[in-house]
Structure 1
Amino acid sequence: MLDPRKLRLLRELARRGTIAAVAEAVTFTPSAVSQQLSALEREAGVPLLERTGRTVALTPAGHLLVEHAQAVLEELERAAAALAAVRGAPSGPLRMGAFPTAARVLVPAALAELARAHPALEPMVREIDPADVSGALRAGELDVALVHEYDFVPPVTDASLATEPLFAEPMYLTGRRTLGDARHDPWIMSKPDTLCHTMAVRACQAAGFEPRVRHHVDDFDTVLAFAAAGQGVALVPRLAALAPPPGVTLTELSLSRRTLAAFRRGYGEHPAIRAAVAAFHTALTGLPLTPSNLPSSRPGPPLSRS
């Protein structure tokens, strides 16, 4: 019989590429991960890994087992959700993740709704970069998390996770009426290799120019403060621009950011997950945002940074 805990380690190795990275993700020692994977090979009866010096790669049999492991782990999540539904109203810990703007604007109202509708639940919020959500969900560190995606940047998805759309919001340009008007301005953008940065650069390129980036800032409140101080122009989502500082003008563009709730595939019908998603929707009723028209149950959350 194949051990699901060892199957999870093999799945992580397929995604992360090294035993050291798997060990860091699951808080094991590399030696313990290697021992577990060797035990899985004995259970499977065929080589799953090819070891060359300090590197390791999956064999064809290893890749095949990862495909089946995903289906097995999904069914186990589905079984856990079904048993939780039998027990009745959701209760106990609910570990939630949110990127900074959502944690500040949306999550407090959602927590109030959960307290009202499901007082037996104990939500625990962790502010987290969407790029780190997939690993945290797969490791069981989070049960549900808010992630987002932008125009101009196809999301990188994780087949072990599912998402449910929540809302879409427009992007705003500070200080100018069009992107073309800002071609000679200094820009304030998030750090390179983040989804926000890639979106902004590609939006400028689509307008026919390469942006001259002066400041790299991730927090949108700080971005708006820099814009108010005349330090450059920036693109910000509506959720971050509900109360801009004095002196900042905002022009709505035909660009959007979309926010989704992410959870482990098979776990979406768990009563606590349904309660969290419902609370997010209720919290949105008081905000000037548009419900998303994305299809539900997409094959995984975007790996992005905010």
Structure 2
Amino acid sequence: MDLARLKILRELSRCGTMAAAGEALSLSPSAISQQIAQLELEAGVSLTERRGRGVILTPAGEALVGYAERVMVVLDEAKSEMAQLKREIAGDLRVAAFPSIASVVIPQTITALRQVFPRLHVILDEMEPMDGLAALRSWRADVALIDDLSILLEGKQAGISRVPLAEDVLYALLPDHHPLARRHSISVTDLKHESWALDSTSSAFGDFIMNLCRRTGFEPELNASCKGFEMVAAMVSAGCSVSVAPGLRLTKKIIGVRAVKLRPEARRKISVAYRSGEKEHPAVKVFLEELLRSAARLGVH
């Protein structure tokens, strides 16, 4: 059986639709469908069946995904051992990371690694956590930085291992002249009559903030859905909006903006994820070690 088709079946099992699997693998839905049909011919048995607008795996499909997971872990282990036997840490290492953590720790990590391993090329691809994890699962990334606002980190992710990197406290962002700006802490409820600006590049973070407000009994009124934190900060600084942002966004002072702790405290856990079979891969190991050192040096905790 073709390994690429097994990877597609595995992704289809996770995503539930041809369109979602195609998006994760950068393939069209029709290409996904054709590859699954060919895999069914190779297997001699039906692997999927339609269920509403989605697709579910048959018992044979579920069994084959289980075998595919094991095969892929073994192949990753083989790749790791070959890299160890070369006795040189070199080549490309693809890292998926979301902006707030990437901007703080990735440049320092790359700089430190270049000095020791000049032939190791770390390639950063800025992605939100869910996209980074999908890239990791589809071999488009070797390491992904993820958080527990987007992904349930307590549950086991088949074939994926992770290392805790940091915890990040969330803050309310207020215009500097706002009546609440000098308080030591405020509750989300204190902002229920305000206009809000949110960074819409991460739907998971936006959903978390919206649900945080809803749990306290109000629907936040948005006056800005922004394609990046820079615009959120500009709206708050100008006195147009309030917002909530991760502490990692506040390592540099933002003129005209006051960051106030939330009460009760809200925080997220950030982890580094990699494929379990590549635990001993030399490039993955040195990157993880240096990333953890960079986070410790910069006081990211």
Query: One fold, TM greater than 0.5?
Result: yes
Please point out which of 206, 215, 220 is paired with 1:211: 220
Instruction: Report the equivalent of 1:44.
Output: 43
Indicate the residue corresponding to 1:7 in structure 2: 6
Deviations 1:65-85 (A, max 9, x none): 112221221222122222222
Q: Deviations over 1:247-276 (max 9, x none)?
A: 211112311122211222322321111111
User: In structure 2, how many angstroms separate the alpha carbons of the residues matched to 1:22 and 1:208?
Assistant: 36
Give the corresponding residue for 1:285: 296
In structure 2, the partner of 1:178 is 186
Question: Cα gap change, 1:34/1:228 in structure 2, threshold over 3 Å: closer, same or farther?
Answer: closer
Deviation of 1:109 (Å): 0.5
Separation of aligned partners in 1, 2:272 and 2:280? 13
In structure 2, relative to structure 1, the CA distance for the partners of 1:32 and 1:174 (3 Å cut) is closer
CA distance in 1, matches of 2:137, 2:27: 15
Q: Which amino acid aligns with 1:286?
A: R
Indicate the RMSD between aligned Cα atoms, in angstroms. 2.9
Asked if 1:258 corresponds to 2:262, the answer is no
State whether residues 196 and 223 of structure 2, in contact with CA within 8 Å, keep that contact through their aligned partners in structure 1. Answer: yes
Q: Secondary structure at the match of 2:297?
A: coil
User: Distance between the aligned counterparts of 1:47 and 1:102, measured in 2?
Assistant: 43
Aligned residue in 2 for 1:272 = 283
> In 2, distance between residues paired with 1:54 and 1:211?
32
Report the CA distance between 1:139 and its aligned residue.
2.4
Superposition TM-score, scaled by structure 2 size: 0.83
User: Hey, what's the Cα distance between the residues in 2 that align with 1:209 and 1:281?
Assistant: 39
Matched residue of 1:150: which SS? coil
| 1:249 maps onto 2:249 in alignment | no
Q: Which residue of 1 aligns with 2:164?
A: 165
Q: After superposition, what is the alpha-carbon deviation per residue over 1:121-176, rounded to whole angstroms, capped at 9, x for unaligned?
A: 0111111222211222222221112222239x856875343322111111111224
2:239 equivalent among 230, 234, 246:
230
1:198 aligns to what? 207
| 93-102 or 45-54: bigger deviation | 45-54
CA contact (8 A) 2:167 2:267 kept: yes
Q: Answer with 211-220 or 49-58: which moved more.
A: 49-58
Q: Identity of aligned pairs, percent?
A: 34
For the Cα contact (< 8 Å) 1:99–1:128, is it kept in 2? yes
| Residue pair 2:279, 2:285 contacting (<8 A) in 1 also | yes
Letter of the 2:298 partner, please give it: L
Listed as ranges, the gaps of 5+ residues in structure 1 are 291-306
* Letter aligned with residue 239 of structure 2: G
Q: Deviations over 1:16-41 (max 9, x none)?
A: 33445545544556665445434433
**Please, which moves more after superposition, 35-44 or 181-190?**
35-44
| Worse overlay, 188-197 or 77-86 | 188-197
Change (3 A) 1:204 1:33: closer
SS at match of 2:186: coil
User: RCO higher in 1 or 2 (8 Å CA, sep ≥ 6)?
Assistant: 1
Query: Superposed, which structure 2 residues align to 1:102-113 within 5 Å?
Result: 102-113=101-112
Q: Structure 2 CA distance, aligned partners of 1:24 and 1:233?
A: 34
Change (3 A) 1:170 1:24: closer
Alpha carbons of 1:53 and 1:187: their partners in 2 closer, same or farther (altered >3 Å)? closer
1:50-89 map, 5 Å = 50=49, 57-89=56-88
| Structure 1 residues 25 and 172, CA gap change in structure 2 (3 angstroms) | closer
Aligned in 2, Cα 1:214/1:20: closer, same or farther, shift over 3 Å? closer
TM-score, scaled to structure 1: 0.82
Residues 191 and 83 from structure 1, CA distance in 2 versus in 1: closer, same or farther, beyond 3 angstroms? same
Task: Quote the Cα distance in structure 1 between the aligned partners of 2:236 and 2:52.
Answer: 52
Matches of 1:214 and 1:113 in 2, distance apart?
Answer: 42
CA shift in 2, pair 1:17/1:205, >3 Å: closer
Pairs within 5 Å for 1:67-146: 67-146=66-145
**Contact 1:134 1:161 survives alignment (8 Å):** no
